[in-house]
Structure 1
């Protein structure tokens, strides 16, 4: 017998990817009769409040990490932020302990929030990075990350276990002492047959100030693009109303249903190479051009790997020009793996003995 459980779902506020890939998990919990409680901060929390207005939401302490304007200083900026991050995690742990007690939480799903676990309830950590790339300090960042994962009861990797996978060495590194489950790629979208409305969709996300910097670059350079464009800025604040400039329809953000339709109506996608975006575009079987966030080793690796395999095209942010989009048609595109997650079995961790 399945008993109704209150499950705390807490994605990291780092762009929108962690929040959006939690959407299918939240829906699956609801479908199986459980009661999700959403906890995050910033734009991640704002997006999930719009997606699930009927659910209880809780604001967690912000990590408040400032991203470097120059990608070369990414690692230095992360080190500079580390004391603030440690304090935020401590505050987060105290907050979560209170939430578990006050809200009668039966289980926790943390998507990369390092302090969201509790020794009294089953706690899960979601990540696609068993190996954390950081240049010549990859061994150290990986060791530190795996040490944190060991505080949880299980680690869920949103990818396939075999060679036909999306994350490469990020999610397929041998580790010791970590209970790892490969749960298949997570996407809130479904592929549908819709008439093509746009030649190109620009889909922005990620931390500031790099999101805004890329927005300005693309709004300027795509003026010479020959075709219809839908441009989604990835800004959850402000209005979601459409603005039109020339051949471009511009939105601050779209809710899941509207975005799913727009993606299915778009021939090609131009975006960051964040892992959630990769999973979404694979589900939708799209051809894409990736511009990784400067200095973010994970995105640079994914863009390079998928380009080398012939699935996508990519370039550095400073090297982008409209003519680079000309050969997207010749790529293989990203392909769906048709993986069906057994959520009832997955969530059995939260059931009482």
Structure 2
């Protein structure tokens, strides 16, 4: 019998979306008789360790991506971080090279970590952003991004190749010159027909200080209203904690099973318009209201696109008020695109000698 191959799965720690969309991939690898090592840093690593306590994990160096309080400065904050990001990528490469030379891994799947690859093993890059929106520098940032993706054996895009799709121009190129495979949307969530408990579920995530600024805004706007609210902070810590603020139950984090139940038992979800959240809410066919992270072009684009398609209303963070939620019934809500991921064919890449 052939020896089990070991695949390293390494999501970027930038909010929790990259880590959570790797959960269905890790489950599929285990079901297809691969061994898995998980690798990341910070809350993303902690989340995967909680989901898969039986798996070996590796701590990678942190990209340390944070937002400024003024969203408009975000692009330049990232630009100033480039030397640190390059250094982090070099450290990642060393760690991967060491694992390969010790015979510990036979393949790697990187979700937006550019240093997680090695020429001696099949290396996959996962992204929904083949085009990186950055305002007047979009062409430049997209070309640099695409040049980095080319260094991997394959690029996997968690979306449908044709319309209807969730990522729009983010995940689709006219004439790509590197191998792209469309997985269909990825989600760890399943829709269930169970009684409603909450009127509103507020889901927070993403780097500081914007995560806290939105938390404060939502508590101010939702407190004391005639509705039952569950607010999940998206702060993964060792222990789960909860507190009650009038009509709002506040929880620091939830693991997959709990969060799936929370989404299923809520009428409406308020959240960022991060792509993983969009995929999860589409899988659950939820009504939603989006508040894109200030300064993050990708989230602004997704929110604007879904609003123009008549699916989900949205507004700027500073403009949010409880009254804005009255618009929700005028929108159709997200729908499941029902595209099944063919993991068996995808994983053949790792069977090569």
Aligned residues of 1:65 and 1:85 also touching (Cα < 8 A): no
Deviation at 1:99, TM superposition (A): 1.9
Deviation at 1:158, TM superposition (A): 0.2
2:94 is the counterpart of 1:128? no
Residue correspondence of structure 1 range 119-158 to structure 2 within 5 A: 119-158=119-158
Aligned residues of 2:196 and 2:266 also touching (Cα < 8 A): yes
Deviation at 1:69, TM superposition (A): 1.3
Deviation at 1:91, TM superposition (A): 1.1
1:7 equivalent in structure 2: 7
1:50 equivalent in structure 2: 50
Q: Distance in 1 between matches of 2:302 and 2:209?
A: 21
Residue correspondence of structure 1 range 75-154 to structure 2 within 5 A: 75-102=75-102, 104-154=104-154
Q: Is the alpha carbon distance of 1:210 and 1:103 closer, same or farther for their aligned partners in structure 2, counting shifts above 3 Å?
A: farther
1:211 equivalent in structure 2: 211
Aligned residues of 1:273 and 1:292 also touching (Cα < 8 A): yes
How well do the aligned residues superpose, as a CA RMSD in angstroms?
Answer: 1.2
Q: Is the alpha carbon distance of 1:191 and 1:262 closer, same or farther for their aligned partners in structure 2, counting shifts above 3 Å?
A: same
TM, length-normalised to structure 1: 0.98
Deviation at 1:330, TM superposition (A): 2.1
Q: Distance in 2 between matches of 1:286 and 1:194?
A: 14
What does the per-residue CA deviation read over 1:230-282, in whole Å, with 9 as the maximum and x for residues that have no partner?
11000002531332221111100001000000100000000000000000000
Residue correspondence of structure 1 range 1-353 to structure 2 within 5 A: 4-102=4-102, 104-237=104-237, 239-353=239-353
What does the per-residue CA deviation read over 1:146-203, in whole Å, with 9 as the maximum and x for residues that have no partner?
0000000000000001111000000012243210000010000000111000000000
Deviation at 1:13, TM superposition (A): 0.3
Deviation at 1:224, TM superposition (A): 4.0
Aligned residues of 2:45 and 2:59 also touching (Cα < 8 A): yes
Q: Distance in 2 between matches of 1:174 and 1:346?
A: 22
Paired residue total:
353
Deviating above 6 A after TM superposition, structure 1's stretches of 4 or more consecutive aligned residues are: none
Q: Distance in 1 between matches of 2:306 and 2:87?
A: 37
Which secondary structure state, in structure 2, belongs to the residue aligned with residue 84 of structure 1?
A: helix
Aligned residues of 1:238 and 1:252 also touching (Cα < 8 A): no
Q: Is the alpha carbon distance of 1:11 and 1:175 closer, same or farther for their aligned partners in structure 2, counting shifts above 3 Å?
A: farther
Deviation at 1:92, TM superposition (A): 1.1
Deviation at 1:80, TM superposition (A): 1.0
